[in-house]
Structure formats: structure tokens, C-alpha cells
Structure 1
């Protein structure tokens, strides 16, 4: 968990750094950045690379392998197409350890996201259809969210102070093979500068009464239809009338503004004390938010304030720790954008021959692996290096909670419990004593018969030490070690009676 916490820090810094800036050299930075958030048709390409810098201490073989794998990864977008705010496609590839996995993703905001990955038998699909939203008539909700996001960004851009290093100059750059005259905005921000930029932002925000009220009004316009729709859908005849009838928009804005203003004043008044307390409680943040954490960003704007090119380098310094095998995280990204506002048609993933819908989260590792040809790099990556099929089950043989039963020296567990823990499917025909367990990873069938010591694994006969039986609670019990090993797992028992079932 500690490792994951530190790996999340670069994302936090990227979201906070350069949130907004005032005019520099006559160039309206805030207006340019805010304008870049308005969705419009375009085409672009991008590369992204992450590097983990190993710590100076001795690394385990597992840590070295993980670092080498991550450092070998590269994300390349050859052509991203934005047709409109609801239709997007991305064609590119993911590189790793000398391999390359091409992919195509297409997004239809009203339907779903489809992924076609080289070597996959069927595209992966994530549904975005929301039946409840449709019933509630919330078709304009997404537009309200977008408007609120833009309004929030504009307000932050307006008040965020400039970093120490912020320059603007005219330059000539190549974008998609075309030479363009562009305005280069260069910014650098260090970790030790970031904390000092937040307080001036909050002070400036607290003084912008109209800006805050406009933002609250945008929030009101977004939430009102949702509240009224829920009232119509779930309310009764005696329920209160809509929010709009109960409280005027002006009244809501005034009340929320007063609360927000009070909150900002309290935060600003205690800001220095709170920061000091945070650093005292988590001294490792002094490294993360220190001089060695640096973000360098170059944005290139055309005469219409469209971002046509950008380069980003981020170095996040991490504190020394026995739990953390890395001393820094580096991120490098480059992108170019063209055909802004032009005619753009996205590249659609073909789902006519079927797809693997992963929306409900019930897709098993075996289903995913079987969807890829075994000779493909991604299959090997998922199975051998990421270990998508890894399972770890801990059973206390001394506790009734796990349903463990020792019968004539053979340990038994409920069939469905262990099968579900290892993602196996259980089939049983009502009225029959025959049970079939299907191995999730291999598709191999394990055939059992209640009351019999005879079993079969992959068509081969196996003799059990004790027969399968139905317990007094109605559950079918099977020999634990037999079923676990038949499903590709190993079984270990310690001196305290804890049983470990693990599949790599």
C-alpha cells in the first residue's frame, strides 16, 4: 500500500501544477489555457514514457523485475481523433520489453467504449448506457457537468499565481510535418514552490465574489434537473415540490456563497499552521515537495490560442524507505495537434462479430486470457509477468467460518466456496449426483460424483481418498487438496492449522 501511495503522487502534482497563470508579456495565459478545455474536432498524436529510478539500496529480484517492466513501457498514440465531445477514437500501441501491442479504442459517450487489441479474438467493451439517467430524463446532465468543469477551470486559471519560471516567446515548430509560427509558453515549477502558490490562490479566490457566485449558479443549473427528476421518479403526491419552487436560485447562491466565503477565510487564516502540521506528521512530504521535484512544461499556441504542441517533463523525488525500492519517478510526454475544428470522422472498432463485455466487473481472468491467442505478447504479459490468474486463499482449519471439515484424515471444504475463490464454474444437473467444475484458466473439466471416490480431471480418471458428500447443511463437500491442485493451485498447512491455497 505504501508503494501505491507514492506512485499516485505524480498524478496529484500534474493536476495541481500550472492550474492557471496570469498574463505574461502581453500573452493571456489564463484565456489560452481555458480555451484549450473547450472540446472541438481535432486530430493529434502523443508519446508518454514513465521511468522509475531505483534506490541505491539492495533491490530484491522481484523489485528489479517490476522496475524493469515499468521502465520498458511506452504509450504511443499514432492518431487520436475527436469528432465531437461524444465521439473519440485513439489508434496507437503500448511497447514493453522489446514487444509492441497495437490497439484501437473508440468512444461513443451514449453507448460505450470498445477496445480492439492485437491478438484479441473479440474486442473488449465497456457499456456507458445509463438506464436510470434515461428514465429520469437527464440527457442534459453531462452538458451541465462539462459547463461546470469549464467554469471551475476558468476561475482557477484566473486566480492561480504565476510560477517563478514562466516565459513567453515566438518560435517556429513542426506540427504533423507542417512548419508553424507559434507562441511558446515555458513554465517550470518546483515542489518547494508549489505549497507557497496555494495560499495566494485561495486569497485571490476569496475576493472574487462575482466569480464564485457565477460558479455556484452553474452548479445550481446542473443539479436542479437531477433533483427534480429524482422527485418525479421517486417522490409521492405529498412530497415537497421541486427545489426551484422551494428556493429561488438567487437565495441558494447567496447562502452557498456565504458558506464558501467563510470556509475560504478559515482555510487561509490557518493555512501556514496546517501546512506545518502536515509536514510534521508526514516529514517524507518534504522530499516530495522539495527542490528535486520539478515539472517542466512547454505549450505552443497558434494565433487562435489553440495548443498545437506540448512537451512535459516531470521528476518526482521520493523519500528513502525500506518499503520503497525507487528514489524518483520521471514522466516524459510529447504531443502534436492539427485539423482543429475541421471535418473529423473517428475510427470505429468493429463489434459486429461479438465482443467481451467487461462492464459488470464479473469477467474472470480466464475469460480475458482465453480471449487472446497464446502466442501474442499481451497474453504472455498478462499471464506470466502481471500474473492476472494469481489467487491467494487463506483458510483457518480451526474455525467453523470457513466450513472446513476433517474426515478420516482428509480435509474437506464446500465445493462452491473453493471453486468461486479460484474463479471456477460449477455445473450441476438437478436430480443428478454428477458435478462438473470448469477450470477458469484452462477450460479443463473436473468431474465429480456425490458419494463416489471416482473423479476425472481433463478426461483422466482419478481416485479420491474419500468420497464427495453432502453435509447436513446441504452443501456439497470435496477434498480440498484434490480440487485445489486440479485447479492449478498448491496447498500448504502451517503448525497453527492455517491452510494456504495459492495459484500463480
Structure 2
């Protein structure tokens, strides 16, 4: 499915093209869109649906049809999104999947990001605290980053040309149950006009010396204080305001010269480069054809706040055996209210513990056990995404894998194979007893060095040969026993390769 990459390219360029909206019908589109970049308190709701369209000539396999049906059953329904400030955000809603709904609550604060799925044992958690004590605090960068994002939007909006379809009208519409008189901005961008919009943007932008330098200066102001904290300056170094200003001016001038030169070089061969790109990759003619279309309706109030938004994206795809679909359609509808008002974001309750994915990468078993009671999600992870699937290939001719044949039995290092299958190994010093904990089931396998007897989930099992400690200090166990005890199958071929598969 390598051609799936073409989905991201047109979407990104279509969205960029819409930033080229200049004044239409007396409505300052650029100003309105630039103001929407600023983060302010608000409440909103949104729905997102996806549709995959099979290619008419495609001969779909059962697996293909199952994947398409799964994607087409997806929907994201955010019933309540709250932005308290840049650090406190929440979203409450559900994910639709296979005609079932999975309720969730997402929240973010200055400490971390949490996702609570109804029925899951613990919320997923991503810590936003510095992983390394003493690491530079970047909180002071937030205000600068906000200002910089507005500068970037204003610069792009100033120079990008309008798409072919761009209209403005006054209309009355419902937002969160309230009838409002709003300004409706309607825009349509076709795939075949995108590359034609980029060249005039670059031509205009490169002539705006002051605009580019202001933008570079914004990046300099945001990043330089942080970068300075990562290096050690001599103790006798004194950075005066005059020196700092001179250094900044020199950096801006140098970067501007480099950027200007790069854009001019790009423009000099732009048409030829685009032609070569389409010649080398014929699929682009379909992806960036007239049937790839983004339709966007934005509804602004008198303060230029976006109160409602409707987006329809259709991306056409080239015929391919690897990708038996002709198009992907995405639709999104959203409404926003209480802009700039008092908003308190909801919080995921983390007092009973979390599955912290920043401390260590969760194993497939940890994830599956966490969502065991969320039936549609569990089935998706286990059956459709095959989260528990493992394949391990061992070369008996290579010392790296440590396969040893002894008394007609193949042995492998206990810890190596266990870790390949995500199992945990525990050892009590001095006892010679080892415990292997199956990642998916949690069952325990208990062995003792030198003993032909082991237990699997409490049941006694006789081994063909006992575990032993090799001269390198590693404990070796019978390969077939450990593989099957961990729910996998083992296959030996004539060329000396061993394939272990856990479904």
C-alpha cells in the first residue's frame, strides 16, 4: 500500500492554498483567517467521517473489503470541546466503529495529556514534564510561539493568490441552537490548480524583504533563548543589549540572504521541475487532477471569529493493484461558541493510576488487557490490527541467535526469546528458578535449571531436556517448549532457519 502516501500530499497543499484568500466583496478574508490562528477560550463540537471508494475495476479480496468496511464505519463525534487556555484543553465524545460507539474523554494540562476510554482499566497518559531533571524550561516560549504563528499566517495570507472559487455572502444559520447572522466564506480548490498557486506565492513572498526579515526575527526571538540554555557560555561573557541586537541583526541578514537565494533558485526552474515531477510520477496527474477537490465553508461573526465550519475533501487516487480504491472522502462539521468567555476544561481522573506511555513503551499485552472490556476496540486491536502478532526468525547457523543443539533438542537463550515475544523474565538469585510471564495472557511459566519438570499456569509439564546455564552465563531452554508455552508455533526448514509465529 505504498501509494497511500499520496493522500497526505494533496491534503496539505489544498489546505495551504486556502490561506491565499485576499479581500473578497469588501470582506477582509486574510485578516479573518489570521485572527483565527490565535488561541482563545472557547467551546465547540465537531463530527468527522471518512469514506473509502473502491475502484470500479478492482477485484477486492475479502481482506480488502474488510479494511474498506472498517474505514467507512469510522466516525469521530466530539460533543464537547473546551479550550480554557493554551495549556488546558478537553474533548468529550465518542468514536464510531462498526456500528458501535466508544465514548472517550481527552484532556491536556501543563503536566500531561490523558485519554480515558469508557470501559478501559486505566487512562493512557503522556507526561509533558521534562524527562531529564534540569532540562531547560520552555514554558516562556509559548507566548512567543503564539505571536509567531500569527505572524506566519499573516505573511502567507498576504502573498498567496486566491483559489478559483472564492465567494462571500451574508447568511443566517444555527450555532449551538442559536440563530446567528454570519458572513459565509465559501472556497473550493481543485488539485489541478495547486502547483499554479504556489509559484505566484513564492514570487510575491521573495520580494517582501521586510516581511521575510520580520518572520525570521520572530523565529529568532522564540528559539534563541532556549538554544542559549543548552550551551555553556564563559563566566566572563557579558551579553549587553547592544551586542544582542547586533547579533540578531547579523543572524537575520544571513538567513534572509540564504532563504532569498533558495527561493530564487527554485523559481528559476519551477515549471521544468513540476513537469519533470509529473513525468517521473504519472500517478500525480490523478492525485492532482480536477476531481481532487476541497470545499470549505467558514462562517464568521462580526468580530471575525469562526463560529461554524464545513469541510468536504475528495482525494482521487490512481488505479493500482496495491491500492484498490479510487478516492477517499473526508467530511467535517463544527460549531464554536463562548469565544473569549469563561471556560473550564474537563479533566481525566488519573487518581487510580494511568498507563504512562512516556515511561516505557507498552507491550501488546498491556494494551490489550487495558482495553479488554472495550469490546469493539479490543477486537479492532487484536483481530484487525493483529496487535498480538509476532514473527521471530532464527538462523541456526549464526552465533548471534545462540541456537544450540544438544542431545537432539534445540535450545535458545531464555531471555532473548522471551523478550522477542514480549514476555517478562524474573529470576530469584540462588534458587535456580526462573519465571516467565506471558505478555498476552499473564500466565506464568516456571523452570528450574537442571530440572526436566516445569509448570505452565500451575500445571506440571515434562521437558525433553532440562534448562542449563551456558558457559557465557546465559540460561538456555528447549526452544519448542518455551515457544508453545508462550502461545506460538515453531517451524524448522531444511536450510537451517527457524520461524516462530504467534497469531
Same topology, TM > 0.5: yes
> Which residue pairs with 1:185 in the alignment?
185
8 Å CA contact 1:43–1:338 kept in 2: the answer is yes
| Cα deviation code 1:170-220 (max 9, x no counterpart) | 111101001110111111111110111000000010111111111011011
Which stretch shows the higher mean deviation, 382-391 or 349-358? 382-391
RMSD: 2.0
Q: 1:4: how far off?
A: 4.2
CA distances 1:271-327 after superposition (whole Å, capped 9, x unpaired): 111111211221111111111111111111111111111111111111111211222
Does residue 199 of the first structure (1) align with residue 175 of the second (2)? no
Conserved 8 A contact 2:17-2:163: no
Classify the secondary structure of the residue corresponding to 2:227: helix
The match for 1:127 is 127
Compared CA separation, residues 201 and 132, structure 1 to 2 (3 A): farther
Q: In the alignment, is the contact (CA less than 8 A) between 2:17 and 2:160 conserved in 1?
A: no
CA gap of 1:447–1:241, structure 2 versus 1, over 3 A, is farther
Matched, 1:104 2:105: yes
Is residue 363 of structure 2 the alignment partner of residue 385 of structure 1?
Answer: no
Report how far residue 14 of structure 1 moved: 4.8
Q: Alpha carbons of 1:123 and 1:447: their partners in 2 closer, same or farther (altered >3 Å)?
A: same
Looking at structure 1, the residues matched to 243 and 32 of structure 2 have their Cα atoms a distance apart, in angstroms, of 39
Q: CA deviation at 1:147?
A: 2.4
> Does the CA contact (< 8 Å) of 1:412 and 1:480 recur in 2?
yes
Partner of 1:158: 158
* 1: CA distance, partners of 2:373 / 2:494: 40
**Number of the residue aligned with 1:31:** 31
Q: Secondary structure at the match of 2:279?
A: helix
Secondary structure of 2:192 counterpart: helix
Range 180-189 or range 10-19, more displaced: 10-19
Partner of 2:437: 438
For residues 394 and 460 of structure 2, the distance between their equivalents in structure 1, rounded to whole angstroms, comes to: 28
C-alpha deviation, 1:150, in angstroms:
2.1
**Greater displacement, 234-243 / 118-127:** 234-243
Distance in 2 between residues matched to 1:238 and 1:473, nearest whole Å: 54
User: Which of 316-325 and 146-155 deviates more?
Assistant: 146-155
Gap regions ≥5 residues in structure 2: none
Q: State the 1:360 CA deviation.
A: 3.4
Deviations 1:470-492 (A, max 9, x none): 11111111122221211111222
SS of residue paired to 1:8: helix
- The Cα offsets for residues 116-159 of structure 1, whole Å up to 9 and x where unpaired, read as 11111221111011255964343312333332222112111111
Deviates more, 1:494-503 or 1:244-253: 244-253
Alpha-carbon distance change, 423 to 236 in structure 1, aligned in 2, over 3 angstroms: farther
Contact in 2 for aligned 1:364/1:440 (Cα 8 Å): yes
Cα distance in 2 for residues equivalent to 1:301 and 1:264: 34
Change (3 A) 1:65 1:458: same
Q: Deviations over 1:417-448 (max 9, x none)?
A: 11111110000011121110000111100111
SS at match of 2:230: helix
Residues 184 and 299, structure 2, Cα contact 8 Å, conserved in 1: yes
Partner of 1:66: 67
The whole-number CA distance in structure 1 between the counterparts of 2:24 and 2:436 is 68
CA contact (8 A) 2:6 2:287 kept: no
Distance (whole Å) between structure 1 residues aligned to residue 165 and residue 202 of structure 2? 21
> Match for residue 394 of structure 2?
395
Q: 2:361 corresponds to which residue?
A: 362
CA distance in 1, matches of 2:212, 2:374: 57
Q: Is this contact kept in 1: 2:106–2:115, CA < 8 A? A: yes
The SS at the match of 1:153 is: helix
Instruction: Show structure 1 runs of 5+ residues with no match.
Output: none
Count of residue pairs the alignment pairs up: 501
Give the structure 1 partner of residue 346 of structure 2: 347
Deviation at 1:113, TM superposition (A): 0.5
> SS at 1:39's partner residue?
coil
Pairs within 5 Å for 1:415-434 = 415-434=414-433
Could you say if the C-alpha distance between residues 239 and 388 of structure 1 is closer, same or farther in structure 2, counting changes exceeding 3 Å? farther
Residue matched to 1:483: 482
What residue in structure 2 maps to residue 41 of structure 1? Answer: 41
Equivalent residue for 1:285? Answer: 284
Match of 1:462 in 2: 461
